[in-house]
Structures are given as C-alpha cells and as structure tokens.
Amino acid sequence: MPAFPTTRWSLIRASDRAAGDVGAAWGELVRDYRPAIVAYFRRGALARDAEDLAQEFLLRSIRESWWSRADPGVGGFRRFLYALLTRFAAQQRDAAHRRYEQGGADAFDAAGDATPERAFDLDFALCLTRGAWRTLGAEYDADGRGELFAALEPWLAEAPAHGELAALAARLGIAPNTLAVQLKRLRARFQKAVHAALTQLCVDDAQADADLAALRDALASDGAHA
C-alpha cells in the first residue's frame, strides 16, 4: 500500500517547521473555511455577533498559535477546528453572561442549535465541495473548456430533463453521446477533487475515509451530494 501523502494538515502539525511558515499555512487554511466558522456562530447563542466573532477567532488562532494544540490524537483538521470553535464559543458565552450580570450588556439568548456538530459538518462539507468545484473549474478554464464546464454545472447532481442534453449538444456543436460522456467524466473528476481536498485535511487513510463518510452523510441529510 502506498504511503499516505504529505498534506496541508500534516505539514501544519509537523514539529520541525518554522513558526512563521506554519502560521501562514494555518491562516490560509482557516480562511478557506471561514464561511463554516461564521455559520457556526450564527447557529448559536451569539448569532448577532457572528461576523465579529469569526474575525476574532481567526486572528487569535493565528496570533496565539492554536494549531500547536493539535496533539497526535486530535485527528483531522475538521474535528480540530470544531473543538477550537466549541471552546472559543463557550468562553465568549461565559464572558457575555458575566457582562450581563454586571449590567454592562443586553441579555442574550442562551439557546443554540440542538445538534451543533452535525450542522457544522454540513457547513464544512459545503465549504469543501465548493472549493473543490472552484479548483475543477479553474482546470477546465486552463484547458480552454470553461464554457463546457459552466454548461454542465447544473447537472452535476441531477440528471438533465428529457431533451436538455440534446439541446445543449446542438448549441455546443457536439454529438449528444459525446456530451453525455463529458458529463460522466465531470462528475467523476468532481468526486476525485472532493476526495483530494479532504485528504489534504487528514493524516492517514482511515481518517480520510471516516471524514468522507461523515461529510457525505451531512450532505445527504441536507439533500446535497458529493
């Protein structure tokens, strides 16, 4: 069995890297998943401050080297990020409650999402799949097939209605059978791009497989596909 590749996450966790290099890599990674971070706060008791909290989370995680807390048993980036968010949000709720008790702030809604981890998995999966889709689109553009990519995008997860494929083939000047093959290849490449993006956030095959299963489950529960 081939060795698991060096990934963005394994490089961040490597102890022999310069702090500045790790900080830059960590900053890039958390910014890639900023939409999921904002969504996490929007689902909780501090929803009205979601954007500000997300920004503070990102800045503090870089300034205070939070990636250094990732011990060997922490798992992949997805689970580590969720653990950091949970801890940070708890600290912010405690601080807000203290301010309220001291009369320096408005009351806040202590209720939050009943299943925050599952909701986070969905938001994370959407970030990951959108990133994979953008990467794939850039590859098609580089090959001079950007128009084909844009035309096939609506059918990534759903089959075209009767006659739609033939109409598009006529517009593009190619045979319907050829276009059907191109759609099949696009779907296969997208699956591969998603898996490659997820692998970059893990340290071994077992972790990558477990994360892929969890994210597929999250997307399926929302009616999306990966």
pLDDT at 54: 96
Residue with tokens 């692998």: 199
pTM equals: 0.84
How many Cα neighbours within 13 Å face the side chain of 147? 8
Q: Cα 206 from chain centroid?
A: 19
**Quick check: 151 and 157 in contact, CB under 8 A?**
no
**pLDDT tens for the chain, residues 1 to 226:** 456 677 889 888 876 666 678 888 899 999 999 999 999 999 877 788 999 999 999 999 999 999 988 876 778 999 999 999 999 999 988 887 776 666 655 544 544 555 788 899 999 999 999 999 999 999 999 999 999 999 999 999 889 999 999 999 999 999 999 999 999 999 999 999 999 999 999 988 888 888 999 888 988 887 655 5
DSSP 114: S
DSSP letters, 67-121, are GGG--TTS-SHHHHHHHHHHHHHHHHHHHHHHHHHTTSS--------SSHHHHHH
Classify 30 as helix, strand or coil. Answer: helix
Domain boundaries, given as residue ranges, for the chain: 8-221
User: What's the CA gap between 194 and 211, in Å, rounded?
Assistant: 11
